[in-house]
């Protein structure tokens, strides 16, 4: 199947698509499609006035969340960078995502080749990782209008968005804000693909993957709550 059909297949029929991918591992063509969709969504959003202001607010919030005081001088420096935000956003996706996929594939292959005794190739594991990431292309398209309507960047597809009445200052809302629905979907697809590749039940992989994600989200929420004085 061509990359566009495999992209749709990962949403409509993930098991059949991943089964074929494990036998005939391909990742570069689909990776290009995912990166194109995500980068295009990022650039077009950040090219708007709403997007640039949202990016500026996000940068300020991130600095303040780690205890950095944003002075008038620092704010002016951040404001001066806003015309370059579309380029910076695209670069973060086009460079950062492939590096992340490769790192995840290296770690998973090392862990499960040793743990299961099955010698999966790097191409097979990377293909599973990339194909599971198809959902992030869909997230980029869905998040665009939500972010624009909220005049905010990031968090459009988290659990926190579903419970805005809880606020943002305490641990509970911060934890919900750290859990992305599409990241959960990605982990489920990743576990399914690893199960097919290593001939094991997907639940055995899902426990470790979801456990690691939950631990990371909890640690992030605790850190933000402590630094926020809660």
In tens, the pLDDT along 97-141 reads 999 999 999 999 999 999 888 999 999 999 999 999 999 999 999
| pLDDT at res. 168 | 61
Residue 98 has a CB neighbour count (10 Å cut-off) of: 18
- What is the per-residue pLDDT for 173? 67
Contact status, residue 123 vs residue 25, Cβ threshold 8 Å: yes
In this prediction, the residues of the chain whose per-residue pLDDT falls under 70 are 65-68, 162-173, 224-230
Amino acid 167: pLDDT:
56
User: According to the model, what pLDDT value does residue 157 have?
Assistant: 83
Closest to 143 measured CA to CA, from 89, 75, 223, 216: 89
Whole-number Å distance between alpha carbons of 183 and 207: 15
Q: Residue 190's pLDDT is what? A: 96
Residue 108 has a pLDDT of: 95
At 179 the pLDDT is 83
């Amino acid at each position: 199947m061509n990359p566009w059909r495999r992209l749709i297949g990962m949403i409509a029929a993930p098991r059949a698509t991943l089964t074929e991918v494990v036998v005939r591992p391909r990742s570069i063509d689909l990776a290009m499609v995912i990166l194109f969709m995500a980068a295009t969504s990022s650039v077009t959003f950040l090219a708007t006035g709403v997007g640039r202001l949202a990016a500026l607010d996000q940068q300020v919030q991130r600095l303040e969340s780690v205890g950095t005081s944003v002075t008038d001088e620092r704010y002016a420096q951040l404001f001066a960078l806003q015309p370059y935000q579309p380029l910076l956003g695209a670069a973060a996706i086009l460079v950062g995502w492939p590096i992340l996929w490769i790192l995840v594939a290296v770690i998973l292959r090392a862990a499960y080749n040793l743990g299961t005794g099955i010698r999966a190739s790097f191409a097979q594991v990377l293909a599973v990782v990339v194909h599971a990431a198809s959902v992030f292309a869909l997230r980029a398209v869905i998040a665009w209008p939500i972010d624009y309507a909220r005049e905010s960047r990031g968090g459009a597809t988290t659990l926190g968005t579903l419970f805005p009445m809880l606020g943002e200052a305490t641990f509970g809302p911060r934890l919900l804000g750290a859990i992305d629905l599409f990241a959960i979907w990605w982990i489920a697809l990743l576990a399914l693909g690893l199960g097919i590749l290593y001939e094991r039940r997907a639940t055995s992989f899902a426990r470790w993957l979801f456990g690691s994600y939950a631990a990371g989200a909890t640690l992030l929420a605790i850190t933000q709550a402590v630094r926020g004085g809660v």
